[in-house]
Homo-oligomer: A and B are copies of this chain.
């Protein structure tokens, strides 16, 4: 266990904060609830971003940029939407500061705006106000636009990456001529989210539908990917919304169909955010710190030269040459730690940062023509000849990616239970874990369970089998099989 790091088994929240801090991922900003993403954390986010950006471009989407500032009146246009976001809106009311003899710098009261503007908590309203200008005919459809942006939601209880007043995300906003097409888009994107989570972040997810009470404010249907974190709580890692014609109606966006009729446009929106960095920490971290899956790791391999004097350093440099050449050819992201600290200190530091592989080179390795590779995920320490090391680095990076996924999957499956006893349900929720069970489909049942246990329905999984199930609470025939858990 890393010095001073709390045991994740005993104090997961404190462990999380310490890892975020000591791995150099993020810091608190001066305004309450805001976050500074430090270089190492940002590289991790950039890697995730670049992977998903590539995925959506390959599937025909294009990036654009819409304004940060939205007229207040726009929020009035979609009733559910305003209800969902009204309580956490940052409102801009003035546009100038001025010097005041008594009070120093004050807000200039004469700069008050006629209509206040809102910092986007999400961009449906501003985007659909533009789509109204851009869409006339079926020839203008589909529109498949995404933006990478910051949004602000004035949250009361914040935690770095998981819930911050400002966060970074992508928000896709598409417009379609038919309901079917919009539904297909919603599910296609969800599938990309699943791939991103499982194949790159090494986090297994349940895919499914949100219930009415958990869906996005303004959507007809919200689909999600839900993951289990190391404390057995759920984390919503991405959502894809079928918005129906709600925003088209709110902003009067009609188009001329092929057969010359007028119809409202069909819409989707979907997003993932810097929260995913939190998911990586919470899903894979251990008592030594972070464990980052190789495919998204800012540094995949750290090289620690073990030397006592300048002669040894120059020998090591020479010995390393073919290795670094091989790493560059194979595009392994590596870093050599030449700092003055002791090897032990360096081991701890890079383990804390979750670098998947460590290569140690000391004087004896040079004599013997060997190198030592240490895996962050398993701790395994293996010696290879210098000639074989590149090949084995590639193999171990691959294995480590798979191993992190397999571990997370086993953990999730071991902690996902089925039951039809509410007593057992409550016990599982208290001790930690997911419960797959029947639900009668009533919102009041959901509410009572939430009040009594703090567990919510994370999703109605696509592979639900409600036939023959009874509701975990009411005992009535189940309408759906659902997954309950306490969530972040």
Which of A38, A65, A73, A96 counts the most B-chain CB atoms under 10 A from its CB? A65
A98 within 8 A of B: yes
Chain B contacts of A89 at CB under 8 A? 95-97
Do B67 and A36 touch across chains, with their CB atoms under 8 A apart? yes
| Chain A window 57-91, contacts with chain B (Cβ cutoff 8 Å), 1 for yes, 0 for no | 00000111111111111111000001000111111
A42 within 8 A of B: yes
Chain B residues lying within 8 Å of A46, measured Cβ to Cβ, are 63
Whether the Cβ atoms of B91 and A95 lie closer than 8 Å is yes
Q: Does A406 contact B (CB under 8 A)?
A: no
Is A37 located at the chain interface by the 8 A CB criterion? yes
* Selected interface stretch from A26-34, A237-245, A258-266, A439-447: A26-34
Residues of chain A from 364 to 399 with CB closer than 8 A to chain B in the complex:
none
- Residue A10 at the chain B interface, CB threshold 8 Å: no
Residue A51 interfacial (CB < 8 Å): no
Contact B68 A97 (CB under 8 A): no
Interface residues as binary, A86-130 with B (CB distance below 8 Å gives 1, 0 otherwise): 111111111111110000110100010000111100000010011
**Which B-chain residue is minimally distant from A154 (CB atoms)?**
B95
Chain B residue numbers with a CB within 8 Å of A117 are 31, 90
Best-buried of A86, A91, A165 by chain B (most CB within 10 Å): A91
- Complex: A70 Cα to B67 Cα, angstroms: 19
Contact A92 B119 (CB under 8 A): yes
Q: Contact between B27 and A133 (Cβ–Cβ < 8 Å)?
A: yes
Cβ B43 vs Cβ A150 within 8 A: no
Quick one: which of B39, B65, B118 contacts A63, CB cutoff 8 A? Answer: B39
A298 nearest in chain B by CB position: B62
Contacts of A74 in B (CB 8 A): 30
- Asked whether any CB of chain B lies closer than 8 Å to the CB of A196, the reply is no
Asked if A91 and B107 make an inter-chain contact with CB atoms under 8 angstroms apart, the answer reads: yes
- Name the distance in Å between A291's Cβ and chain B's nearest Cβ: 22
The verdict on A472 contacting chain B, using a C-beta distance below 8 Å, is no
Q: Is the CB of B39 within 8 A of A145?
A: yes
State whether B105 touches A95 (Cβ < 8 A): no
Q: How far is the CB of A441 from chain B (nearest CB, A)?
A: 30
Chain A, 226-252, contact with B by CB distance < 8 Å: what is the 0/1 string? 000000000000000000000000000
Closest to A129 in B: B30
- Chain B residues positioned under 8 Å from A72 (CB to CB): 97, 105, 107
Q: How large is the interface on A (under 10, 10 to 19, 20 to 34, 35 or more residues)?
A: 35 or more
A168 within 8 A of B: yes
Query: Of the candidates B75, B86, B150, which one forms a contact with A68 in the assembled complex, judged by CB atoms under 8 Å apart?
Result: B150
Known: A29-B66, A31-B67. A105 touches B90 (CB 8 A): no
Contact among B39, B73, B86, B150 with A62 in the assembled complex (CB-CB below 8 Å): B39
The CA-CA distance from A481 to B67 in the complex, in Å, is: 42
Judged by a CB distance under 8 angstroms, whether A282 is at the interface is no
Cβ of A408 within 8 Å of any chain B Cβ, yes or no, is no
Give A280 Cβ to nearest chain B Cβ, in Å.
17
Cβ of A166 under 8 Å from chain B: yes
Indicate which residue in B66, B71, B104, B119 contacts A119 across the interface (CB closer than 8 Å). Answer: B119
Q: Once the chains are docked, how many angstroms separate the CA of A104 from the CA of B43?
A: 44
A94 CA to B92 CA, complexed, in Å: 7
How far does the alpha carbon of A169 sit from the alpha carbon of B36 in the complex, in Å?
18
Which residues from chain B contact A91 at a C-beta distance below 8 Å? Answer: 92-97, 107, 111
**CB of A229 to closest CB in B, whole Å:** 23
Q: Can you spell out 15 A-B residue pairs with CB atoms less than 8 angstroms apart?
A: A27-B130, A30-B67, A31-B67, A31-B71, A43-B63, A68-B150, A68-B152, A69-B152, A75-B105, A82-B97, A86-B98, A86-B105, A88-B95, A90-B92, A93-B93
**7 extra interchain contacts, Cβ-Cβ under 8 A, other than A30-B129, A69-B166?**
A35-B67, A37-B65, A39-B62, A41-B64, A67-B166, A82-B105, A90-B94
